[in-house]
């Protein structure tokens, strides 16, 4: 991923928190994920296909999700709503990125995973960028694994030449 592409997701995450809660979040310097686990209690996963392939993950502990639900005016802070929200956050940040990547940046519906995740949920053959997000006293993470889809690019170039 390029710096410009990483910036798209940083801005997407900051925009989300600012818009929904009215209070700004901050991000620490993004880094390439190593062997350590960064998965927290709830993880929303969006699959990416089209001109790019990969995934966008938003992972959070319960407390910030309760805080966000309160910002939505939601009084039911139970597990189903926390799971629903973590998927919606991943979906919104990934969807907003189409402003930069274009309509061939295809996003899946969210999949929500609970609990500390095994590394099997991250694509091993792709580099994953971790974006730490600080909101109030809590830390969440946005993880992005993104590669250009060479198969589709070749097809597009072939069509243009043809």
Residue 13: in which H helix or E strand, if any? helix 3-21
- Which is closer to other proteins, CB of 34 or CB of 73? 73
Near other proteins in 20-39, by CB under 8 A: 20
Q: How far is the CB of 18 from other proteins (least distance, A)?
A: 9
Residue 46: which of 9, 71, 100 has the closest Cα? 9
Interface with other proteins includes 99 (CB under 8 A)? yes
Q: How far is the CB of 90 from other proteins (least distance, A)?
A: 10
- State the residue for tokens 């009215």: 22
Q: How far is the CB of 124 from other proteins (least distance, A)?
A: 27
In a 3-state reduction of DSSP, which class is residue 75? coil
Q: Is 77 left (phi over 0), alpha (psi -120 to 50) or beta?
A: alpha
Residues of this chain that bind other proteins (CB under 8 A): 15-16, 19-20, 69, 72-74, 80-81, 84-85, 87-88, 91-99, 101-103, 105, 107-109
């Amino acid at each position: 991923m390029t710096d410009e592409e990483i910036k798209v997701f940083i801005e997407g995450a900051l925009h989300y928190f600012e818009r929904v809660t009215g209070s700004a979040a901050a991000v620490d310097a993004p880094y390439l994920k190593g062997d350590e686990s960064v998965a927290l209690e709830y993880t929303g996963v969006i699959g990416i296909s089209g001109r790019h392939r990969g995934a966008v993950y938003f992972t959070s502990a319960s407390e910030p999700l309760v805080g966000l639900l309160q910002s939505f005016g939601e009084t039911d802070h139970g597990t189903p709503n926390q799971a629903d929200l973590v998927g919606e956050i991943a979906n919104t940040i990934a969807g907003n990125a189409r402003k930069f990547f274009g309509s061939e940046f295809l996003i899946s519906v969210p999949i929500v995973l609970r609990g500390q995740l095994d590394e099997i949920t991250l694509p091993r053959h792709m580099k994953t960028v971790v974006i730490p997000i600080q909101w109030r006293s809590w830390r969440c993470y946005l993880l992005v694994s993104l590669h250009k889809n060479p198969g589709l690019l070749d097809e597009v170039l072939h069509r243009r030449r043809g």
